[in-house]
Amino acid sequence: MTDLACQVLGIVKSFGPNKVLREVNLDLPAGKVTVLMGANGAGKSTLVNILCGVHAADTGSMTLFGKSFWPDSPADAFQSGVVTVHQSINNGVIPDLDVASNLMIDRLAEKTTGFFIKSEKLRQEALEVAATMDLDVDVKACIRDLGLADRQMIAIARAMTRNPKLLILDEPTSSLSANEAQRLFRLLETLKDQGVAILYISHRMSDIRSVADRIVAMRDGKISGLFEDALLDYEGAVTAMLGQKMSQSDFLLNPKGEPILKISNAKLNSSSTPFDLTFYKNEIVAIAGLLGSGKTALASAIFGLNTLLDGFMTLHGEKYKPMNPWDAIEAGVFMCPKDRAANAIISEFDIKNNLALPFLHHHSWLSFIKRQSITNNAKKTISELGVVCQSELDPVTTLSGGNQQKVMVGRWLSVASDVLLLDEPFQGVDIKARRDIGDHIRSSSKDRATIVFVAELDEALEIADRVVVLHEGDNVGDFENTVENLSQIVSRYSGQTETYNQTNPRT
């Protein structure tokens, strides 16, 4: 009864020397929701971009309802009935126009539309679209006055006006509340009945459980698992997405020292359950959780970028409430932020000045910078971390991703800290650099508490003494990183647990 809507055969795509997709084969049946799972860098977005005409594949073929399909532009893909809602909402809506214009923007762009806008007609049509979508907003309202969730729903509604045959949704619930997500899921049910094939990309287990008819897991540019039994094997899917070998690195757990940072009664988002966490000297704790798990909120609170919704922190037994990063740094709490290009690198500086940036006051006398001191600091870090470069005078942008990350981590290791936070320290880093950084973090961890925030579980297992699993703001697991605990950690991470109740029952 299920026709094949879209078939992808042997797609290969490289960017320069990087092979991003290696022979991907994927069937998308009409009237079914296929969930695509994959870690960062697995090739999900590249695959989506090929389907929606942003990139062209190097080799391979695609068919849409039996006919050959090879879009050369996003517009071409729309024409064929492949409609994509991208993760970044603001690409889907135009903030300065009202809802009606946004919903009908594709109509406005058509050449057959007249020169003048017929506002009344436009609104009428927009209302009809909104009604089919179960969308309750004033069509005269301006998009920028609406919340993220409404914008997301409008971006999706806009996609609906194009009568899609294949609808691709990239992390559509990342900014929706549970309630709004339910609305979206109901809509997906309607679309399925109409025979639309849906490719749904998500990290969220609760979503996946609500919508998935089939699960496809991707890893390293290949399909690593396909699950389409009546009873879906979610844990199997997570394992396929993370890779088969889920094992710890061969290190001995560090003995715990005295407690340094205590977080009590912490509430990360409005619907989460408060929890306590204590971090000890000489211990490396990995906070593992997917997008929306609350790990960013936790890291930000400890580094003074925002405050906890509820709860308090103590550092060495004294009350700790940083109002900004400087307070945190003064108190000995450092953070190496995630996404180094946006949050860490000073691209116009060389290596030595990038390394010294937070501690210029250590390298200056009466505010005058001591060049020698900065150079010595840089030479020391470069040799300790094995940064591959000509000299400390190289512009930081000439380094490879892994070496840039070494510089960013080295920046915060050059001065002793009491608590060191590392947010996604292995983001966009090759395996060699990842080992070097991990080893150095472990070997230098003696006099501080180290907290590593990661989305990928294997990274957590590779570096940590203890793994804390966060899920939508709740602390769902706190385990020593030992072989005995491995299966527990994996199942908590994939959300397969009876100790807490999901808030998203299947409708």
Which residue lies nearer to other proteins by CB, 28 or 331?
331
Distance CA 386, CA 406 (A): 8
| Structure-token pair, residue 51 | 């389907």
Q: Measuring CA to CA, which residue among 440, 471, 472, 466 is closest to residue 452?
A: 466
Given a contact cutoff of 8 angstroms between Cβ atoms, the answer to whether 435 and 349 are in contact is no
Q: Measuring CA to CA, which residue among 188, 150, 185, 200 is closest to residue 48?
A: 200
What's the min distance (Å) between Cβ of 149 and other proteins? 24
What's the min distance (Å) between Cβ of 440 and other proteins? 20
Number of H helices, E strands in the chain: 18, 22
| Residue type present at position 441 | I
Distance CA 231, CA 473 (A): 28
Distance CA 70, CA 89 (A): 26
What's the min distance (Å) between Cβ of 377 and other proteins? 14
Residue 409 belongs to what H/E stretch?
Answer: helix 401-413
| Structure-token pair, residue 138 | 């004033």
Which residue lies nearer to other proteins by CB, 346 or 416?
346
Sheet holding 4-15, edge to edge: 18-29, 4-15, 59-64, 67-68
Given a contact cutoff of 8 angstroms between Cβ atoms, the answer to whether 398 and 387 are in contact is no
| Structure-token pair, residue 213 | 């008819």
User: Which residue ranges make up the site for other proteins (CB under 8 A)?
Assistant: 303, 324-326, 328-329, 335, 337, 342-349, 353, 357-358, 360-361, 363-364, 367-369, 411
Distance CA 450, CA 463 (A): 10
Which residue lies nearer to other proteins by CB, 115 or 368?
368
What's the min distance (Å) between Cβ of 357 and other proteins? 5
Which residue lies nearer to other proteins by CB, 84 or 353?
353
Which residue lies nearer to other proteins by CB, 152 or 353?
353
What's the min distance (Å) between Cβ of 345 and other proteins? 6
Which residue lies nearer to other proteins by CB, 209 or 321?
321
Which residue lies nearer to other proteins by CB, 348 or 480?
348
What is the Cα Rg of the chain in Å?
Answer: 25
Which residue lies nearer to other proteins by CB, 306 or 347?
347
Which residues have C-beta within 8 Å of that of residue 125, sequence separation ≥ 6?
103, 104, 107
Which residue lies nearer to other proteins by CB, 175 or 364?
364
What's the min distance (Å) between Cβ of 422 and other proteins? 13
Which residue lies nearer to other proteins by CB, 96 or 128?
96
What's the min distance (Å) between Cβ of 132 and other proteins? 39
Which residue lies nearer to other proteins by CB, 129 or 389?
389
| Structure-token pair, residue 177 | 């509340």
Which residue lies nearer to other proteins by CB, 223 or 422?
422
Three-state DSSP at 386 gives coil
Which residue lies nearer to other proteins by CB, 257 or 332?
332
What's the min distance (Å) between Cβ of 86 and other proteins? 22
What's the min distance (Å) between Cβ of 361 and other proteins? 6
What's the min distance (Å) between Cβ of 338 and other proteins? 10
Which residues have C-beta within 8 Å of that of residue 428, sequence separation ≥ 6?
41, 340, 401, 405
Given a contact cutoff of 8 angstroms between Cβ atoms, the answer to whether 405 and 437 are in contact is yes
Helices 371-385, 401-413: crossing angle, 10 deg rounding: 120
What's the min distance (Å) between Cβ of 370 and other proteins? 10
What's the min distance (Å) between Cβ of 144 and other proteins? 15
| Residue type present at position 413 | L
Q: What is the DSSP string of 57-100?
A: -SEEEEEETTEE---SSHHHHHHHTEEEE-SSGGGT--TTSBHH
Distance CA 64, CA 61 (A): 10
Planar angle of CA 384, 386, 387, nearest 5 degrees? 115
Distance CA 231, CA 496 (A): 14
What's the min distance (Å) between Cβ of 450 and other proteins? 18
Looking only at Cα atoms, what is the longest distance across the chain? 79
